[in-house]
Amino acid sequence: MKYNIKDVVAEIFDWETNQVVPLLATVVLAFAIGLFVYLIYRLTFSGVIYSKTFNMSLVMLTMVSTMVILIMSNNLKLSLGMVGALSIVRFRTAIKDPIDTVFMFWSIAEGIVIGAGFYLAAIVGAILIGVFMLLLASSKKKASLPYLLILHYEDRASKQIKSMVAQIPYARVKSKTVQREGIELAVELRVRSSETGFVDKFLRVDGVYDATLIAHQGDMIS
């Protein structure tokens, strides 16, 4: 049976008889929600080095997951083959921050829900999770954050340094290295970002070479 070009084009854009338009609409929705995840990750990121490449991969994860679920739902044989293929895939990229893993699962889950045809659930779920993430991020910025204070000083300044460190909230000595050139002290502490001006006071102590405050991503025991 032969088809002319007009018939083919008419069939492609006929929503009732063809699946191309619904497929395109589903992929576009996946892209929109993936972009929403991208923006939430960008707004709530609190790490040291922001990776735009990783953030862009969240959009791709949503779209790819959607396409996989669409194909698996329409073809049983192909779905079994995909399950077998995906079971041998190994991802070697190390995820350093646990929250990055959460965003990856969020993107994949959105893609699965969209591919399964639950569009309203995908949209409402994305909005709710995004709002909760923004609220948690805003409360985190107001709370105290963990830091590492690195001090280099001479032995004659030890007594005054010890007294000043004792006045810092949640301060805990992590390491102390004594060398012929001087002493290196690493202190773990928790303060607000607006309360870091105390570092300048250490430089006023006679015998202190330098004082460095570093944002610490590890967990601290209060």
Q: Which pairing describes strands 183-191 and 208-215: parallel, antiparallel, or unpaired? A: unpaired
Mean pLDDT comparison of 7-16, 34-43, 87-96, 137-146, highest-scoring range? 34-43
Residue 191 CA: distances (Å) to CA of 79, 164, 175, 220: 52, 15, 19, 12
Would you tell me the crossing angle of helices 52-74 and 20-44 to the nearest 10 degrees? 150
Q: In the listed set 142, 173, 201, which residue is the last one of a domain according to the structure?
A: 142
Regarding whether 166 and 127 lie in a shared domain, the answer is no
* Order of all β-strands in the sheet with 172-178: 172-178, 183-191, 145-153, 208-215
Q: Is position 90 within any domain? A: yes
**What was the pLDDT predicted at 39?**
94
**What was the pLDDT predicted at 93?**
58
Q: Is position 189 within any domain? A: yes
Regarding whether 210 and 116 lie in a shared domain, the answer is no
Mean pLDDT rounded to a whole number for the chain: 77
Number of domains in the chain: 2
Q: Is position 108 within any domain? A: yes
> Of the ranges 65-74, 108-117, 136-145, 192-201, which one carries the lowest mean pLDDT score?
136-145
- Predicted confidence band at 215 (pLDDT cuts at 50, 70, 90)? confident
Position 161, amino acid: I
**What was the pLDDT predicted at 41?**
92
- Tens of pLDDT, residue by residue over 102-152, are 898 999 899 889 988 889 999 999 999 999 998 888 776 665 677 888 899
Regarding whether 132 and 38 lie in a shared domain, the answer is yes
Residues of the domain holding 150: 145-215
Q: In the listed set 125, 142, 159, which residue is the last one of a domain according to the structure?
A: 142
Q: In the listed set 124, 142, 160, which residue is the last one of a domain according to the structure?
A: 142
